[in-house]
Amino acid sequence: MGENKADEYGSIPVPNVQYIAMNELKEIPGRYIQPKAETDSVSMDESREIPVIDLQELLHGQGGDQMASFHTACKDWGFFQLINHGVTEGVIEKIKGDAEEFFRLPLEKKKAYAQQAESVQGYGQAFVVSEEQKLDWCDIFALRTFPIDERLAKFWPTSPPSFSETIERYVEELQELNLRLLELIAKNLGVDADKLTNTCKNGTQWFRINYYPPCPQADKVIGISPHSDPSLITLLIQVNEVEGLQIKKNGTWVSVKPLPGAFIVNIGDAIEMLSNGVYKSIEHRGTINPERERLSIAVFQLPTSGILVGPFEEVLGNSGAKYKTVDYDEYMKSYFGTKLEGKRALDLVKLGEI
């Protein structure tokens, strides 16, 4: 396996929330109680639903209406649901089933894939950088799935038996879908498609299952704390019907109601930078259900390790670059480093501090 630069962001090991939820329900450990969780306002306005985009319409539709809706979705929402996306239904069903089965395995079996100090691959929790830090009510299983020659075989699960093969098929299809979306984004931004897709040529892709156990005091904990993704694009599915994803829109949290079979797609920090802020990488978080577990599967397409990321000339307009051009490996370090201070790495790029 090669020198794995993009994977040097270790996480401090912490207890598995799935087992706290099973055993200590009378009292939630203090590290998981997040005072802010209760006081934030959540929009009840049913009309505020994220846009729905049809990939077949984007690719083959007449008149450009769908391309215009796609542009608006990326610009004003940074989030949309993608239907008619062409990813094989059987592959999606299989990954959902295997993900559920994996999390049903006894702790000892899952621990065979436990995260190790130097990396966030495997089974554990993400973003734990300090002993004092508040913790998310969530366990994860993560793999760096691309580039292929940097896969770490020891983290690829053999239980359930089909899991590794299912992951492989799933991430390959999503890699293709990502490229289609990037080509369409380039078209809408007036940038040569190759210029955008080249930013992730032989790039890094992460696969992550988020497992959110139920919590009787669901409003006191957070499944995944507010963040924006460092990716170009993120593709997410919910494994069961339990909802929990919320996005920040004009200062309030808006709940996402996933359409069956759709991907929830979001613009990540890298596209925000490349598009000079024309497209937005929106903050989002995961909430917890009091009675039922929730699982989601996210696939993050990141720029190629070692490249520089900054606004394309074609999108500068009259106002000039609003983001500094940064080495993306440096950006990823700041992304994890600023997490604890509650700062966004993206804001530091705007200020020229990275």
Q: Rule CB under 6 A: say whether 269 interacts with ligand OGA.
A: no
Q: Rule CB under 6 A: say whether 229 interacts with ligand OGA.
A: yes
Q: Rule CB under 6 A: say whether 296 interacts with ligand OGA.
A: yes
In the complex with ligand OGA, which residue's Cβ is closer, 205 or 296? 296
In the complex with Ni ion, which residue's Cβ is closer, 277 or 286? 286
Q: Rule CB under 5 A: say whether 283 interacts with Ni ion.
A: no
The only residue of 87, 186, 274, 298 in contact with ligand OGA, by rule CB under 6 A = 298
Q: Rule CB under 6 A: say whether 208 interacts with ligand OGA.
A: yes
For the chain, the C-alpha Rg in angstroms (whole number) is: 19
In the complex with ligand OGA, which residue's Cβ is closer, 243 or 329? 243
DSSP character string of 190-248: T--HHHHHGGGTT--EEEEEEEE---TTGGGS-SEEEE--SSSEEEEEESSS---EEEE
Identify the sign of the CA torsion 281, 282, 288, 292.
negative
Q: Rule CB under 5 A: say whether 272 interacts with Ni ion.
A: no
Residues 348, 186, 258, CA angle at the centre, nearest 5°?
80
Q: How far is CA 244 from CA 31, 268, 295, in A?
A: 21, 19, 10
Rounded Cα distance, 336 and 152, in Å? 21
In the complex with Ni ion, which residue's Cβ is closer, 7 or 229? 229
Please check whether residue 298 is in contact with residue 210, taking contact to mean a CB–CB distance below 8 angstroms. yes
In the complex with Ni ion, which residue's Cβ is closer, 98 or 229? 229
Considering only the stretches 16-24, 45-53, 155-163, 221-229, report the one whose residues sit in contact with Ni ion under the rule CB under 5 A.
221-229
Pick the closest to residue 169 from 136, 145, 186, 137 (CA basis). 145
Q: Rule CB under 6 A: say whether 271 interacts with ligand OGA.
A: no
At residue 297, φ and ψ (nearest 5 deg) are -125, 120
Instruction: Name, in order, each residue with C-beta under 8 angstroms of 310's C-beta and a sequence gap of 6 or more.
Output: 273, 274, 321, 323, 324, 325, 326
In the complex with Ni ion, which residue's Cβ is closer, 18 or 266? 266
In the complex with ligand OGA, which residue's Cβ is closer, 14 or 298? 298
Rounded Cα distance, 146 and 163, in Å? 17
Q: Rule CB under 5 A: say whether 269 interacts with Ni ion.
A: no
Q: Rule CB under 5 A: say whether 136 interacts with Ni ion.
A: no
Task: Choose the one of Ni ion, ligand OGA, none that binds residue 208, judging by a C-beta under 5 to 8 angstroms depending on kind.
Answer: ligand OGA
Q: Rule CB under 5 A: say whether 229 interacts with Ni ion.
A: yes
Task: Choose the one of ligand OGA, Ni ion, none that binds residue 286, judging by a C-beta under 5 to 8 angstroms depending on kind.
Answer: ligand OGA
Task: Choose the one of Ni ion, ligand OGA, none that binds residue 85, judging by a C-beta under 5 to 8 angstroms depending on kind.
Answer: none
Please list the alpha-helical segments (H only) found in the chain. 17-23, 35-39, 55-60, 65-72, 89-104, 107-111, 163-189, 193-197, 269-274, 328-339, 345-351
Q: Rule CB under 6 A: say whether 268 interacts with ligand OGA.
A: no
The residue type found at 78 is: G
The only residue of 71, 85, 110, 284 in contact with ligand OGA, by rule CB under 6 A = 284
Rounded Cα distance, 160 and 105, in Å? 9
Q: How far is the CB of 279 from ligand OGA (least distance, A)?
A: 17
Q: How far is the CB of 282 from Ni ion (least distance, A)?
A: 9
Please list the alpha-helical segments (H only) found in 81-133. 89-104, 107-111
The only residue of 210, 276, 305, 338 in contact with ligand OGA, by rule CB under 6 A = 210
In the complex with ligand OGA, which residue's Cβ is closer, 210 or 301? 210
In the complex with ligand OGA, which residue's Cβ is closer, 37 or 245? 245
Residues 119, 124, 130, CA angle at the centre, nearest 5°?
70
Q: Rule CB under 6 A: say whether 224 interacts with ligand OGA.
A: yes
Q: Which residues bind ligand OGA (CB under 6 A)?
A: 208, 210, 224, 229, 236, 244-245, 284, 286, 296, 298
Binding site for Ni ion (CB under 5 A): 229
